Structure 1
Amino acid sequence: MKTINIASGLMIIASALFFASCDNDRGDNPKLDTDNLPTSFVLNVPAYAANNTYDLANSTGINFTCSQPDYGGEPLAVNYSVQISLDKAFTKYTQLGTTYTTANINVSGTEINNAVVKLYQNANSGADPSGVVQTLYVRLRAILANYSKADCLSNTIELPKVVATYLAELPTSIYLTGPCIQDGTTFKKMAPAFGTEGKFFTMIYAPAGGTFKWSRDGNEKLGYNDATSVVDNANSGAKASADGSIQIANAGWYVIYMNASLDVQKNMLITNLNIDPGEAYVIGNACGGAWTQGDPNWKMVAPTNASGKWISPAFTAKDEMRAYILVPGLDWWRTEFTLYKGDLYWRAVDIPTNWATNVGKDYSVSCGIGQKLYVDFDNNKGEVK
């Protein structure tokens, strides 16, 4: 029999945390029988579920209980995740972000509600599920701490009547996808503007007639009319294509800037998608101490196609590289980037001194006099040489 030793401290923590049978606790290290790992465990149906209608948005939560998977009677540390689906076969499902360490679980009504809304919208072309009575299927995933191969799923239970309500919330990410985005199938993640909420940006190349859609989760595909507004500040000729995508008439490089906000009174997410001229710059001590945003002397030269490299003017001093994409209405330091292992790394912390001091030497790029910055914005890669 193969065994894995689990630290004795884990047993102490587990015995305090888990709602499980611990009559046979021992003082020695518990051992996991890896030849007889559990393949399932029991999730109980909540009391009165058959006759109850769960109003998720107005509920404090739902309580679920389960038996701990049978690890040979050992009180091992288990993390539980909640998975939900609108179909019994779990063809499409989502795993909630919150995890639990006991077999008595109180799940936030708001977290379930928002997940159900997204599942419904993804299955129904973005339709609003508010007020629709649905059947919700729930199962748990058990993850054994320090041994991922012991993951297993519970049985599936049914909550016959749940009602979800669309609650407007700021997106935590925005993606672009479509024929003119990278390989045509990738969801390209937009960079968040440092120190803001709901603001995201990226640089893309669109050929004449090129199309793309946007997404909040890297799964849904939203088009021109799904945004509250599409503002063309770059004479791109943007319009809705036949399939609802955002279509660009005039070939070129463009900054795509999503400025999202909430209308609390109307419970509405406002999504203003801006198409701005594609511009990028270097700045700072390596540029002879030039710190003016949008200085034309330090503007990078754009290539003529998606696969080409943007090229900066030659640096005039031996110092740290500082660079940014120009997004109208945002300070340069909110859209700054550096290079980390050849990839563009977007600023996510305050930098009162420099990248080396405030973020780390691995995130600081030294420039020599006469060297230039080369950037592939389509794939977010770069180098100084």
Structure 2
Amino acid sequence: MKKLNILVTLLMGGLLFTSCNSDRDDNPTFTLPASFTLNVPANANNNVYDLINSSSITFTANQPDYGGFPLPTSYAMQVSMDSTFTDAKDGKVANYIELPTPFASTTMSIKASELNEQIIALYESVKNTDSYDNQVRPMYIRAKASVSTISNSVVYSNVVKLPNVLANYKAPDISLPTDMYVVGGSIGESWKTWQKMSPVFNSAGQFYTVIYMPANGVFKFGTKENDWNGASAINTITDTNNAAGVSAGSGDNITFANAGWYVLKFVDKIKGAKIQYDLIIDKAVVNITGTTVGGFDQSIPCTAPADQTGQWVSQPFTAAGEVRACVSVPGADWWCTEFTMQISTGNIHYRVEDIPNNWLETLGADYSIQAKVGQKLYFSFDTGKASLK
């Protein structure tokens, strides 16, 4: 056990201990115990804790024995799916979670709604899933105590088993975004153009776009125009091969150290009562496939411009037919990130339709780019315009 002689005035719960100019045998000595007792709630073994229909669960504990005298102690409650309470290690997540509400006494009433939410979050983390099965299961509780005025004073209680706990996932009154936008210093008109992202076809909550970033370029995002969200709103950022050198910059901007063209993919999920945003970044690649380049078993990359002011250009088409263009997006098939041009307007049209065979059959001639041998497709993600020459 750890021991600490307290040789200074110690005020604790109204008791004043005073030391003399020299140490004395009756100085209070702090002792860190190995554990302390958390009591099992009444009827825990015979009761099903239906959390969504309960108000609270009350636990009591005996204060840790710090050497025979009271000290100002704070408590936190931890819940686990088994009795081991294992920390995160070797790529595995922790099998327990700490409840956010602290306590200042040895009587601790846990809000049932809070416990319900945390159990679901723990289950999803441990099982690596986005769903909860609403089954009765055993849960394990322990208390963590610490003295606010003494460092390194954390001690854990025994583990209490609650054999029958029913947590219920209740769908929140929110839904996945239907639109997403990006804005930045090198997107359209600097910090004024909100470039709309395209949904990944047949993938709810997934959006992508292509942008140019100069060295130390920055951007923000939103689910609507003028919805200013930055790095702090993103759960995880995956910078594939560290291509962008992405970081959280000043003003909460998402900052790219390395200049270049990038594809951004947002994966949005409902977590509790909030939307969780995960961002994947990769070097931008745009391909042509299909009849005009020799078949759908081939993908011929387009040439990127120097910056956002230029146009992407396809290779010359080797055969006549309908042009099939697509953005290479991490985790998505080419036909889920395909785009075409509306002939009458020159606007890029991103696929949101089911296309069994081709654009001509699905949307008609106005959306079917019919190329001749030797022609090229020119397009700009910055202006949203395309042309065939």
TM range (shorter): 0.5 to 0.7
Q: Write the mapping of 1:303-322 to structure 2, written as runs, cut at 5 A.
A: 303-322=305-324
CA–CA distance in structure 1, aligned partners of residues 297 and 379 of structure 2: 20
Q: Deviations over 1:173-209 (max 9, x none)?
A: 1100121211111111101111121111110001111
Where do 5+ consecutive residues of structure 2 fail to align? 1-171
Q: Which amino acid aligns with 1:359?
A: L
Q: Which amino acid aligns with 2:303?
A: V
Q: Which amino acid aligns with 1:224?
A: A
The Cα of 1:333 is off from its aligned counterpart by: 0.7
CA–CA distance in structure 2, aligned partners of residues 311 and 257 of structure 1: 22
Instruction: Name 1:362's counterpart in structure 2.
Output: 366
Confirm or deny that 1:239 pairs with 2:247.
yes
Confirm or deny that 1:277 pairs with 2:296.
no
The Cα of 1:277 is off from its aligned counterpart by: 0.8
Instruction: Name 1:207's counterpart in structure 2.
Output: 214
Q: Which amino acid aligns with 2:279?
A: L
TM-score (norm 1): 0.54
Is the contact between residue 249 and residue 255 of structure 2 (CA under 8 Å) also seen in structure 1? yes
Confirm or deny that 1:259 pairs with 2:263.
no
The count of aligned residue pairs is: 215
Equivalent position SS for 1:379 = coil
Q: Deviations over 1:142-183 (max 9, x none)?
A: xxxxxxxxxxxxxxxxxxxxxxxx844211111001212111
Q: Deviations over 1:108-160 (max 9, x none)?
A: xxxxxxxxxxxxxxxxxxxxxxxxxxxxxxxxxxxxxxxxxxxxxxxxxxxxx
Is the contact between residue 184 and residue 219 of structure 2 (CA under 8 Å) also seen in structure 1? yes
Runs of 4+ in 1 over 2 A off after TM superposition: 166-169
Equivalent of 1:351 in 355, 373, 383: 355
Instruction: Name 1:379's counterpart in structure 2.
Output: 383
Q: Deviations over 1:196-243 (max 9, x none)?
A: 211111100011111110001112100011111121115101111110
The Cα of 1:308 is off from its aligned counterpart by: 1.2
CA–CA distance in structure 2, aligned partners of residues 377 and 346 of structure 1: 11
Q: Which amino acid aligns with 2:383?
A: N
Q: Deviations over 1:318-350 (max 9, x none)?
A: 100110110011011111000012111011111
CA–CA distance in structure 1, aligned partners of residues 382 and 224 of structure 2: 20
Equivalent position SS for 1:329 = coil
Instruction: Name 1:218's counterpart in structure 2.
Output: 225
Q: Which amino acid aligns with 1:288?
A: G
Instruction: Name 2:304's counterpart in structure 1.
Output: 302
Instruction: Name 1:327's counterpart in structure 2.
Output: 329
Q: Which amino acid aligns with 1:315?
A: F
Q: Which amino acid aligns with 1:262?
A: I
Q: Over alpha carbons, which structure has the higher Rg? A: 2
Q: Write the mapping of 1:161-240 to structure 2, written as runs, cut at 5 A.
A: 167-184=173-190, 185-233=192-240, 234-240=242-248
CA–CA distance in structure 1, aligned partners of residues 337 and 177 of structure 2: 18
Equivalent position SS for 1:211 = strand
Instruction: Name 1:29's counterpart in structure 2.
Output: none
Equivalent position SS for 1:356 = helix
Q: Which amino acid aligns with 2:290?
A: G
Q: Which amino acid aligns with 2:264?
A: I
CA–CA distance in structure 2, aligned partners of residues 186 and 214 of structure 1: 11
The Cα of 1:289 is off from its aligned counterpart by: 1.4
Confirm or deny that 1:249 pairs with 2:257.
yes
Q: Deviations over 1:244-270 (max 9, x none)?
A: 01011100000011111123xx33322
CA–CA distance in structure 2, aligned partners of residues 288 and 204 of structure 1: 29
Where do 5+ consecutive residues of structure 1 fail to align? 1-165
Equivalent position SS for 1:333 = helix
Percent of paired sites with the same residue? 38
Is the contact between residue 216 and residue 255 of structure 2 (CA under 8 Å) also seen in structure 1? yes
Equivalent position SS for 2:387 = strand
CA–CA distance in structure 1, aligned partners of residues 330 and 287 of structure 2: 13
Is the contact between residue 265 and residue 330 of structure 2 (CA under 8 Å) also seen in structure 1? no
Is the contact between residue 187 and residue 308 of structure 2 (CA under 8 Å) also seen in structure 1? no
Q: Write the mapping of 1:24-39 to structure 2, written as runs, cut at 5 A.
A: none
Q: Deviations over 1:44-64 (max 9, x none)?
A: xxxxxxxxxxxxxxxxxxxxx
TM-score (norm 2): 0.53
CA–CA distance in structure 2, aligned partners of residues 235 and 286 of structure 1: 31
Q: Which amino acid aligns with 1:222?
A: N
